[in-house]
Chain A
Amino acid sequence: MFKPYESDHFFDEMLQQNGTTKLHYQAFHNMINQFSAEELREKHETAQLSFLRQGITFTVYNDNVGTERTMPFDFIPIIVPPDAWSNIEKGMKQRAEALNLFLEDVYKEQNILKDGVIPRELVEQNPNYYREQVGGVDIPLNNHIFLAGIDLIRDQQGTYRVLEDNLRNPSGMSYVYQNRYVMRQVYPEFFNRHSIHSLEHQLSNMHDAVLAHAPKNCGEERDPRAVLLTPGMYNSAYYDHVFLAQQMGIELVEGRDLKVRNGIVYMKTIRGLQQVDIIYRRIDDEYLDPQAFNPDSTLGVEGLLEAYRKGNVAILNGIGNGVADDKAMYAYVPEMIRYYLNEEPLIPNVDTYFMRNEEQRRWALERLDELVIKNVGASGGYDMLIGPHASEEEIAMFKEKILENPSQYIAQPTIQLSRAPAFQDGRFYPCHVDLRIFVMRGDETHVLPGGLSRVALKEGSLVVNSSQGGGGKDTWVLKGVENHAQQSS
């Protein structure tokens, strides 16, 4: 039933240049060929409906009216062979480690700035650098990054490259689980001939990682109490929060459920106040504590920062991580890896040019139609120019924006994002994909096998964000030895 297509000049996850199926996709290819188009369409509908029924939705706001939507699901998985995965896993651990050392450094000694590896003003003028609030604070395990979501893409040659680091509140882990769950429910046949890494123990690893962050004043005599702090059901990632709290068996709280008294954080229960030791928060820094940050925030908890500074409560991810994951700092991560770890980056960056640098700016302004321009502070695919797809007006508009505010923008070559087949509306066609890898750090570091594959379902589109029409795919990491044994049988 599956018809190969020309893979053109793009790298394709499943097909060779000549249209034949890659080795690690062959078993899967044979499997889908046993289904008729009608069967596949039916299964596709069942899968989509199952997300809605379970309330696995995100909220999209339009003129302040929120609509719940499901993330479109595509059943053709991204399959990662064992050796490729092992390299990604190592690369992600390495990157997260370096980023964490960087955060610890810039909030304490600032050696990397003193040594001139990273321009001082890039850190100190960064709006997400909260030295005043959290500079010099000792935190449990010296760990600022409890959960990182690192977005990978593959270029024309199939090389994995890091596109973006998310060290604040990366979301999407629940989708990894639900994509797998729906796949197993609706397409159980697909799993028969594959041996893939299960996701099962990862949430208990995550729970252990949370609890490893007991604050220094918590003491040995009682078990630390952890909670997940959500902005509430109107947040677009609310389902993610519910899922993680439920799976880890920790309380899901909102700002109004917490109260700080004498530097101790409590939650309001039906039996009165109970002390809270560890907060996995999914509220951004600016809204965390109206006393210390945005005074208008109604989501946060008054006095939280004070409790954090006193070592009475741990906050995950750390406060002030935004200084390390914006698009300007991104370009320096390979340098951080060399500086702190004395290693070469295992997974390279995408080349990045700074518009604040006059020479690089002049070079870029001459070829905006070939480049991708990004606002260093924006995310979710907003305020972004994709040169080859842009109209002359858009290019002119970005030219003005860059000249007006050069340090706000970076330029990158347009990467021919890899593609994978998708099945929507009854037909197969190639779509661009990326992969968000989740790294969990506590006493040990774990990388969730696979991660969230996002797919730009609009044909030809490069934007994979769910708020802009992107969908999800299951991601399979094949097991090493067992897989070879099976293929030979």
Chain B
Amino acid sequence: MLSRVADSLYWMSRNIERAENNARVLGVQLIQMLEASSEDSLAKYDWEAVIEICGSLYEFNQLYDHFSINNVIDYLAFSEDNGSSILSCIKFARENARVTRDIIPTDLFEVWNDLYLESSNIYIPAGSLREVHHFIKRVKIASLTSQGVIESSMSRGVPYRFIKIAKWLERAEKTTRILNVLSEKSSQDAERADGTNYYYWRSALQLLNGYDEYLKKYPPRMYEKDVLTFLVTDYAFPRSIQYCMDHVREAIIALEGGRVSHYSWRMYAALDRLMDDFDEMKLKSLDVHQISSYLDEFQDRCNDISEVFSQTYYLIEPSHVP
């Protein structure tokens, strides 16, 4: 397969996943905002976390002269200046789908093209939360449908593996980012008052769509360590970092026919190093203050892997590799 096509499949898949993740985060936050309306100061604090998770607070402050819910919604959902806004992700994914449509299933193109056509003509009056929720729901359904099309109709060949690797990498990174941002907020808060931690960890579970699954596995108590263990090393929860990275590895092995070649060993080495650092025991031995830097490091490693991966398959022109 052409490297350019592989690259496009990769970014199509990452942007589909990112659109869904960011839509979910925004949706969860909009509901929490209503529930927490009495604690106004806390709410603004939360929004900053959400902006950090789905974009950048620095960029937000550059683009808008003041903080308001409408500005946040605009930034996260619709802004063309934000490359990770939901609308931007929809566009990038569609653009990449358009240049690979000789490879991807027709249904996949049509599902995403529909979403694109609908959302590029969308008009949402400021403050109309109902419309925003409708949009979020539409994005989630389109992503889930796309994944369904991919699973049910694509041959398990090279294009399929690229799509999957991209999806799992994107997901692992998002989980790390959410945990990272929230653990920082939580440790800042812990110095002020007790009990607020609970709020952050529940929120992490909700942002990652893992609240229900967590409750099935752990008693209905939010212990920081339990939540972290669940979201980082749980082998069965499909948004835990462990699960995502296991699947990246599995897909790469399938792509390489189980062999390690001269061009792929660096990729395996990077993956192994990441997984070594990463078992449950190690996590449990950390104390609260260390978690944040631990997650920082993990996020860097994830980025390394994306880069090694791109180099291995010539997704980046050699001259562009630093």
Contact partners of B102 in chain A: CB under 8 A: 242, 245-246, 252
CA distance A251 to B3 in the complex (A): 12
The A/B interface has a contact count, at CB < 8 Å, of 51
With an 8 A cutoff between CB atoms, is B211 at the interface?
Answer: no
CA distance A441 to B110 in the complex (A): 34
Report the nearest B residue to A241, measured CB to CB.
Answer: B102
Cβ-neighbour of A53 out of B1, B113, B315 (below 8 A)? B113
Cβ-neighbour of B95 out of A233, A242, A256 (below 8 A)? A233
Give residues of chain A (26-74) contacting chain B, Cβ–Cβ below 8 Å: 52-55
Contact A254 B98 (CB under 8 A): no
Contact partners of A272 in chain B: CB under 8 A: 314
Contact A55 B4 (CB under 8 A): no
With an 8 A cutoff between CB atoms, is A267 at the interface?
Answer: yes
Residue among A251, A253, A269 with the highest chain B CB neighbour number at 10 A: A269
Contact A269 B2 (CB under 8 A): yes
In the assembled complex, the CB of B207 is this many whole angstroms from the nearest CB of chain A, namely: 33
With an 8 A cutoff between CB atoms, is B99 at the interface?
Answer: yes
In the assembled complex, the CB of A270 is this many whole angstroms from the nearest CB of chain B, namely: 4
Contact partners of B313 in chain A: CB under 8 A: 270
Contact A246 B4 (CB under 8 A): no
CA distance A252 to B104 in the complex (A): 13
Contact B101 A251 (CB under 8 A): no
In the assembled complex, the CB of A68 is this many whole angstroms from the nearest CB of chain B, namely: 10
Contact partners of B110 in chain A: CB under 8 A: 53-55
CA distance A52 to B109 in the complex (A): 12
With an 8 A cutoff between CB atoms, is B117 at the interface?
Answer: yes
Report the nearest A residue to B255, measured CB to CB.
Answer: A270
Report the nearest A residue to B315, measured CB to CB.
Answer: A270
Contact B4 A256 (CB under 8 A): yes
Contact A254 B101 (CB under 8 A): no
Residue-wise, chain A 230-253 has the 8 Å CB interface mask toward B (1 for contact) of 001100001000100110000111
Report the nearest A residue to B101, measured CB to CB.
Answer: A242
With an 8 A cutoff between CB atoms, is A257 at the interface?
Answer: yes
Give residues of chain B (1-28) contacting chain A, Cβ–Cβ below 8 Å: 1-6
Contact B109 A270 (CB under 8 A): no
Contact partners of A55 in chain B: CB under 8 A: 98, 101, 109-110, 113
Contact B113 A254 (CB under 8 A): no
With an 8 A cutoff between CB atoms, is A338 at the interface?
Answer: no
Give residues of chain B (94-111) contacting chain A, Cβ–Cβ below 8 Å: 95, 98-99, 101-102, 106, 109-110
Interfacial residues, chain A to chain B (CB-CB below 8 A): 52-55, 232-233, 238, 242, 245-246, 251-254, 256-257, 267-270, 272
A–B complex contacts, Cβ < 8 Å, 18 sampled:
A52-B117, A55-B98, A55-B101, A55-B110, A55-B113, A233-B98, A233-B99, A242-B101, A242-B102, A257-B2, A257-B3, A257-B4, A268-B4, A269-B2, A269-B314, A270-B3, A270-B6, A272-B314
